[in-house]
Structure 1
Amino acid sequence: MPGKPPPRSSRKALPLAPRMVVKEVGELMPFLIAQLPHKNRNNIKTLLRDGQIVVDGRVVTQHNHSLQVGQQVEVRREKRSATNVYKGLTIVFEDEHLIVIDKQEGLLSIATHTQKTNTAYHILSSHIKKQNPANKLFIVHRLDRDTSGLMVFAKNEPVKRLLQESWQTAVEQRTYLAVTEGVLRQPAGTVQSYLQESKALVVYSSQNPGDGQLAITHYQTLKQTSRYALLKVDLETGRKNQIRVHMQDLGHPVVGDIKYGARSNPIGRLGLHAWVLSFTHPITGEALRFQTTVPRKFAGLFNE
């Protein structure tokens, strides 16, 4: 019939709010809080995480994204396209220079002699080649297969080199969550030692400066039970297996880490997660900060 509205399913999805014009330089989170008074900070963090905040037509996920006068911000009803979610990883940020992902435990960072395709590198390489078959991918740093969380890949060799050469100065924050065995006598502190890897691929800790590379780990207890502790761990250096070895040094190994002394595995995985990563973009100079959700298995162990 004339004038009859179309079925609900055929209507176009509209944004939750009209486009908002930036009138002064600032960061995204304060802008959204001011523009969306009906939403609290956690609501806005969820919108950011789900890729529903768009600045000048581009999805933005970091809360401290810099806004310039005249830019347009909108809130989309739909969550981020599923093309950003693959089996084993989720793309949390991508531009023409780099990709940041949230990797699940059990997924290799790069190929080994026995596993070539089920890796973060292979998945992302296929992803960027869909955009252009000539695209290449370069790994910046690695996470152990059984460690989950944030990783960075570069889309060209110069960016990879810039990131790796300036990693210690460009990274403002590199924070992990660790579930460890037992209750620490000191709820917070710093572990410092020299780490060296043996031919058997086991990393050893020593107080002798001649026995490897300096490694410094800061930790703080967030929650604990009579058997386990949830630690916030900040890396001052980034050595292979650093957190795992330093937790063993403390006498409180990461749960599920048989290699470094664990006797229990209450969550069915290694209790280590790359939680927060903050660094300066090597090309744009923009301050990027990413924070993932606490793994459910971690949180579930400390539910009261």
Structure 2
Amino acid sequence: MASEADLIAEEDDAAEPSVAGGQTILVSVTAETAGERLDKTLAALAPELSRARIQALIADGRVSRAGAALADASAKAGPGDYRIEVPPPAPAEPQAEDIPLTVLFEDAHLIVVDKPAGMAVHPAPGSERGTLVNALLHHCGDSLSGVGGVARPGIVHRIDKETSGIVVAAKTDAAHKGLSALFAAHDIERAYVALVRGAPPARSGTIEAAIARSTNDRKKMAIVKTGGRHAVTHYLVDEVFGPEAKPLAARLTCRLETGRTHQIRVHLASKGCPCLGDPVYGSGPPAESVRRAMVEAGLGRQALHAALLGFRHPVTGETLRFESPLPADMARLAVLLAAL
């Protein structure tokens, strides 16, 4: 059986470990190492900080050279001494926040919600507030399971911050342990809808490729030939947009046999059809007509939606199955793509 740490690491953005707070990091850029992007250069010189964390610190005015705060993470790093001010970490215990939730099901043991895009599942550096956990603490009070730890009460699984769709959380320890066992045994029905660039060569198929953290960027995952974690995604092409011989985009239904960090996004990108709008794995721009449709639809994130979640209630034994329609941005984009 997978460990608790393995379970909550599934599917979501890799959490950035916190750095001991209140410290100042001094690094020097030599003439030989100057010229690359500032965030990339500083992340290499201060490996305890991720590139995303460096970007956030720059945005907060906490990175300076010669006493002047730097504002552009993409600017070229010049030679000299840099000062990085790392603030104390936020309190580990998240606070309840009155954030509206779309509740699909709730009883004394668990709650199922339809998470909007842009909401992180639990607090992490850069997303300390406005998370699903903050909302659940307000909605459920003290009834959330404590098995997930102080920062992740009730959380059994996660989906990416910018992925919309269905998430289940436990309100009791018994439900938490039961749900964890179901996820560990892959005894959960999960389906995602993805709008992708181009289309896979086959109208249905299985992508089986191990996934591990990228050696080039710790915030990204990558397919590896050795090591990594076993990952299997089954896909079905529901609709093709544009010329049949050379599709511009497609709508896919993906069913997870395993649940790894960024699994669907990495697997689809490996087949040359990344999720539209994916800022991390969407290498290469889509066709101009598709880009116009994305702008008109207001898509500002990866076009991926957790549309279905089914499982046996871990306490009552009842069979539960929930479906979520496409959110407005993806629904509008699908309509516009169909007109290509």
| TM range, smaller chain | 0.5 to 0.7
SS of the residue corresponding to residue 221 of structure 1 reads strand
Within 5 Å, give how 1:92-241 maps onto structure 2.
Answer: 92-129=104-141, 133=142, 136=145, 137-169=153-185, 171-198=187-214, 200-206=218-224, 208=225, 210-226=226-242, 227-241=248-262
Corresponding residue of 2:324: 292
SS of the residue aligned with 1:102?
strand
Greater strand content: 1
- Percent identity over the alignment is 35
1:114–1:258 Cα change, 3 Å: closer
AA of the residue aligned to 1:254: C
Q: What amino acid is aligned across from residue 281 of structure 2 in structure 1?
A: Y
- 1:165-218 superposed Cα distances (whole Å, 9 cap, x missing partner): 231446341000001101332121110011111461211112x3x421110001
1: CA distance between counterparts of 2:249 and 2:214?
A: 29
Give the Å deviation of 1:134.
6.2
Which of these residues, 239, 263, 268, is aligned with residue 247 of structure 1? Answer: 268
Rounded to whole Å, the distance in 2 between the matches of 1:158 and 1:102 is: 23
Q: Aligned in 2, Cα 1:269/1:134: closer, same or farther, shift over 3 Å? A: closer
Q: Do the aligned partners of residues 134 and 105 (structure 1) sit closer, same or farther apart at CA in structure 2, a change above 3 Å counting?
A: closer
Distance 1:280 1:183, change over 3 A: same
Aligned to 2:303: 271
The change in CA–CA distance for 1:272 and 1:134 in structure 2 (over 3 A counts) is closer
Please give the alpha-carbon distance, in whole angstroms, between the structure 1 residues aligned to 2:322 and 2:182.
Answer: 18
Three-state SS of the structure 1 residue aligned to 2:102 is strand
Partner of 1:256: 277
Structure 2 Cα separation of the partners of residues 194 and 88 of structure 1: 37
Asked if the contact 2:238–2:251 (Cα under 8 Å) also holds between the matched residues in 1, the reply is: yes
Q: Scaled by the length of structure 2, what TM-score is found?
A: 0.59
Alpha-carbon deviation of 1:275? 0.3
One-letter identity of the residue aligned with 2:156? V
Residues 171 and 278 of structure 1 are in contact (CA less than 8 Å); yes or no, is this contact kept in structure 2? no
177-186 or 99-108, which deviates more: 177-186
Q: Distance in 2 between matches of 1:251 and 1:87?
A: 38
The structural deviation recorded for 1:135 is 5.2
> Which has the larger displacement, 153-162 or 283-292?
153-162
Distance 1:88 1:134, change over 3 A: closer
Against the structure 1 CA distance between its residues 247 and 134, is the aligned structure 2 distance closer, same or farther, given a 3 Å change threshold?
Answer: closer
Aligned with 1:160: secondary structure?
helix
Q: Secondary structure at the match of 2:230?
A: strand
Deviation at 1:294, TM superposition (A): 2.0
Query: How far apart, CA to CA, are the structure 2 residues paired with 1:170 and 1:185?
Result: 28
5 Å matches for 1:30-49? Answer: none
Instruction: Give the drift of 1:292.
Output: 0.7
Q: 1:33 — aligned with what?
A: none
Corresponding residue to 2:102 among 90, 99, 102: 90
CA contact (8 A) 2:197 2:275 kept: yes
Tell me if the contact between 1:224 and 1:302 (Cα under 8 Å) persists in the aligned partners.
no
Structure 2 partner of 1:280: 312
Distance, in Å, in 2 between the alignment partners of 1:300 and 1:293 is 12
How many residues were matched structurally?
214
Identify unmatched segments of 5+ residues in structure 2: 1-97, 146-152, 243-247
Deviation at 1:223, TM superposition (A): 1.5
SS of equivalent to 1:260: coil
Which stretches in structure 1 are left out of the alignment for 5+ residues?
A: 1-85
Counterparts of 2:325 and 2:126, CA distance in 1: 31
Q: Is the 8 A contact 1:217 1:234 kept in 2?
A: yes
The DSSP-based 3-state class of the residue aligned with 1:139 is coil
Mark the CA change 1:177 to 1:88 in structure 2 (over 3 Å): closer, same or farther: farther
Amino acid at match of 1:288: L
**Matches of 2:240 and 2:100, distance apart in 1:** 29
Task: Check 1:120–1:134 CA distance in 2 against 1; reply closer, same or farther (3 A cut).
Answer: closer
Kindly tell me: are residues 212 and 88 of structure 1, through their superposed partners in 2, closer, same or farther at Cα, counting changes over 3 Å?
farther
CA contact (8 A) 1:97 1:155 kept: yes
Distance 1:282 1:169, change over 3 A: same
Greater relative contact order (Cα 8 A, min sep 6): structure 1 or 2? 2
Aligned 8 A contact 2:144 2:154 in 1: no
